[in-house]
A and B are shown apart, each in its own frame.
Chain A
């Protein structure tokens, strides 16, 4: 006595919506950080204050561009998962992960380096500079953890749960890449 299957329409899974909620919340968080950056800037006569060098231009831009390109392998990994090709998906994920880890390693080193020259406790400029940059690095790190976890999951084959996870994590990485561009752009605006 089983009835005929009910008509269905495909739509994005709850997992995608859950990640969108995280993105909305984190986007708002960064919105507040960036608003603070400009609020403090317009309260200060000199920005960056005298004695602090303007942020470097070329290295951050090149690195950000490298990070942004990882959106492509992430999207390809998602496409592979949708087509059921787990091995290909893992390969793309590893490719993205290599660039992301390289970016993160350099940035952590550089962050440490800069702190040695100008401390976070110097003034309002250094406070927001390191807080904003550090928060962005934290989100890159979280993305790396997501990807490592996803690789571990995909090593044992494909389920709908894992496919949804790939969708959500890819979406997260697109967000982090855009976020990094906006954050770096904000910080570089001190040169203008």
Chain B
């Protein structure tokens, strides 16, 4: 097997940067694509929030929207339904998932395991270039007759199956096709990641020397591999209901509407673990780095990730407590859902243990990591409430659920993403983002995030339903409009604060301080390489002698020790795990 892939032949610009098979370039391609969709998702959220805070008032600048969407700048109810649907869809499928799995899976896995690239570099290229038309198609759905899909990101049948019910026809079909195409991209990617982590680890990189980011990405890839095809199958059946007149989910033809919910959530619950596990893994790496200490309880962290992935398959019914499903089944789901809090809690305590008496460095990634842990705890606690069926019967489909979702996905995943982007930015681009503005962005985001989403718990408990167009049509919700306005203003400020991140990202690319190999003084194999690394990564195959978190190790002058550092000479003989 050759060691360095020193490409003697010159690749054209197109082969090098457009149709690249280099995992680092593909990772950056996913990054740029996902950031665009993150922006789109955020913009849609602003429109949703405007309607909730100031119902039936014209949106400032809303005149640009066509008559079919917002005549006179006032959102139509049908358009509002598609807004909430597409906000969820873009954020889940085209922003968070590709940011965590497409970007960091691609960028980090080969580097951190000591491999020259993925096991199947060309397949990797296909993964990206299949995702692009999926995203483009999803955007196109806004411009078809009848508008975009409007049955929620969960697309429940029969609303989503029968055009007459929602008034949406082409939009829903586009949604389904786009999801199916994206699913193929994800499955190919998962195949690649799993094969790479299993077979391409450098000598000495045993399973229990893998960084937690890689463990998390590996387990996530297994979840993607096995959960996404369920969605693909279900989406195909729904598509046929829409186009071929089949009756899978349509009771009049002998179909079962509840079947859609079961299939969707059988995919959907593992999906939410797909959306959090990589974040957890990367936060572990970042917190260890910022604490200059090994991760507390590394082995239990690994087992917790595996336990969360396992248990994640048998909790899906907690999304369906109100659906009319078999109540005994519901009880089973309540128990399993309460159980799954345990491994997550273990992880939280271990992050705290990692920081405890550490030589703390509050760099920007560390700040985001700490925000992740604290916000995830809040999101997890609201999850405990929802796990209990009697409580959920009251708060299901209210803003309490919306609060929970956003605490784990924004407070959790997105903070982790901001931290991870900042942390690995120098490796990707050879320059550092500005730390001062990074801290300003972090602080503003943290404050406005909590102002936006914490009050939603209150809204939910008061009975404010989700996905409704005009809260003021209900007498009992009118007293909540003050809170709704507060949330909307906070959301607008939250969205505006992200400009700082975008500017910092672009500024850093051209004018950021040049980064050496290891600006964060970290142990991962990627930090032994130039920033950015050359094609083929390692000139010679690295030999790994240490675990990933040898910070402040006794007998070592520096407070960090790269994984491929030669074995320590000192007599104690302990070279890490």
**Does A associate with B in a complex?**
no
Interface residues of A (CB under 8 A from B): none
